[in-house]
Chain A
Amino acid sequence: MTEAPPRILPVIDRDSEAYWTWGREGRLAIHRCEDCEYYVHPPVPFCPQCESRKVAPEAVSGRGRVVTFTVNHKAWVPRLPVPYVLALVGIDEQDDVRIPCNIVDCAPEDVTFGMAVEAVFEPSGDLWIPLFRPVQS
């Protein structure tokens, strides 16, 4: 099988750096308010619930559920292996925090709404890309 094209990487800044790099230690970083414990995503150093500025990245469990997904069949660029799944995963800690991802280690036809998944991380350049797979245990 030919190698898939490289993943396109995001521009990162001080707010998003933890999200894209903590995967090196196998951790999914989501910003959280130290005062009211609300998860703030995408990461912003301000809590929209209590107006606290004490909002910082915190490792979450990495578990969540598939909120929605699509099975892509079109090869948009050469060598793109299809089909593949693009999904939004809601994290277990707060289900309105949605994480775009590919679902891996699972046949596309087996992905379902509400499926329990867990984060895995793929190194790409200087970043660690969060992906999700069906819960193994």
Chain B
Amino acid sequence: MIRFAEKNTAITGVGMSDVSRGATGSALALTVDAAIEAIADAGLTRADIDGIATWPGERADGSGFSPVGCAALQDALRLEVNWYGGGGEAPGQYGAVFNAIGAIAAGLCRNVLIFRTMYEATARKTAYANALLREGQRQAGPFSWYAPYYTYAAALQQALFFNLYVHKSGITPEQVGQIAVNQRRNAALNPKAIYKTPISLDDYLASPIIATPLRLYDCDVPIDGAAAIIVSRMDVARDLRNPPIRIEAIGSSMRYRNSWTQLAELDTQAQPRVAEMMWGRTDLKPADVDIAQLYDGFSFHTINWLENFGFCERYGAKDFIEGGRRIALDGDLPVNTGGGALSGGRLHAYGAVHEACTQLWGRAGARQVKGDPQICATSTSGGPLAGAMLLVRD
């Protein structure tokens, strides 16, 4: 029998710093808060951590996108590890988790600390006012092809994918708006969420258009904050204080052109092949999933993942989310139960993993999904990046 390495790993603890639109502490201080909380949550001590991973690694560019890397956190906590890794060339933000699974399978680690730190709220008040591009500097890398065309933000570039999706699917703004409305409703029940005041569909429709079809409320909110998780080898996990949340299956493939311009299926992006890989590594089916924490850098990512995970047919998300009942906390498939990145704050997929574990451990308080959810599908990223995980609490 094939033994997939992820099945020998589990999430055993989670932590999250304060999340705000302007932190009083440094990015490293936030990271330490999240890490220490995750280690303690697992019932471990610093001495038990023998691996560290992050995505995309430290970027000391003032953008706040990833101000803390493995080395800074290792030194702050004086960890002694056998393996560490942080790098951006990966299947989206979950690349750090997938690498940790490999390190555990290789016998390098028993308990890996994985974290993601954002300091974009502070950065945007200072040097990096919303721009991917900086005047006077030439642009290198994959976005160089977009550079001359006033492509200042991810919103503008990814709107190209979403507008084609709208054209092909016929989804209406009233249907799209259910994602933002649902998540704001969930955020109101999450003490750590940034935006807690409910919004109506009319509020959504009245929010300014950024780049068609994206409205302001379709976009995630930059924050200062950090999240951390502990991924442990299964035999170790079984002796720790929380019921292990098994990593049942992952999708990490790059069986498509990894390009922001030449990706073959622009409207579905890279997600279908990645989801297909994940479902190929488990006997579970979409109908078995209790809750979903789906990437929501933009609401359309969530809509795309609903289809690409197989929760509904291709171009069927418009009917699935119509009226918002199915994706609500008491619906058939509660989605982004903590408010997601749109209203909870942009912890860039690690907020989603934190919320998945919070729900699966029954700790979500006023927003706890009823019926003792055990299985969560979670995903990250858009465009040519995509990663997927199926989490199961024993």
Contact = CB atoms under 8 A, between A and B. Distances in A.
B135 A71 contact: no
Contact of B211 (A8, A9, A10, A86): A86
A99 B161 CA distance: 14
Best-surrounded residue of A5, A69, A88, A129 (most CB of chain B within 10 A): A88
Interface string B257-295: 001011010110000000000000000000000000000
A84 interface: yes
Given A11-B144, A42-B145, A102-B150, A68 B131 contact: no
B262 A98 contact: yes
Contacts of A102: 149-150
Given A68-B167, A86-B211, A100 B150 contact: no
A9 B264 contact: no
Interface string A74-90: 10110010001011100
Contacts of B261: 42, 88, 98-100
A14 interface: no
B148 A10 contact: yes
A6 B135 CA distance: 8
Interface in B231-266: 259, 261-262, 264, 266
B157 interface: yes
Contacts of A99: 261
B150 A80 contact: yes
A113 B212 contact: no
A49 interface: no
Contacts of B262: 41-42, 96-98
B163 A74 contact: no
A8 B138 contact: yes
B161 A10 contact: no
Interface of B: 129-131, 133-135, 137-140, 144-153, 155-157, 159-164, 167, 208-214, 259, 261-262, 264, 266-267
Nearest to A42: B145
A71 B150 CA distance: 12
Interface in A86-121: 86-88, 96-102, 113
A77 B211 CA distance: 15
A23 B214 CA distance: 33
B266 A8 contact: no
Nearest to A11: B140
A129 B151 contact: no
A88 B164 CA distance: 11
Given A11-B139, A97-B262, A127-B148, 8 more contacts: A42-B262, A70-B163, A71-B212, A72-B159, A72-B210, A74-B210, A77-B152, A87-B160
30 contacts: A5-B135, A8-B138, A9-B138, A10-B138, A11-B139, A42-B261, A67-B164, A68-B160, A68-B161, A70-B214, A72-B156, A73-B208, A73-B209, A73-B211, A74-B211, A76-B156, A77-B135, A77-B152, A80-B150, A80-B152, A86-B146, A86-B149, A86-B150, A86-B159, A86-B160, A88-B160, A96-B264, A98-B261, A100-B145, A100-B151
Contact of B147 (A8, A87, A97): A8
A76 B149 CA distance: 12
Contact of B163 (A16, A68, A97): A68
Contacts of B134: 8
Contacts of B164: 67-68, 113
Interface string A1-24: 000011111110000100000000
A86 B139 contact: no
Given A9-B147, A80-B150, A100-B149, A70 B137 contact: no
A67 B211 contact: no
Nearest to A88: B160
A33 to B, nearest CB: 16
B211 A71 contact: yes
A7 B208 contact: no
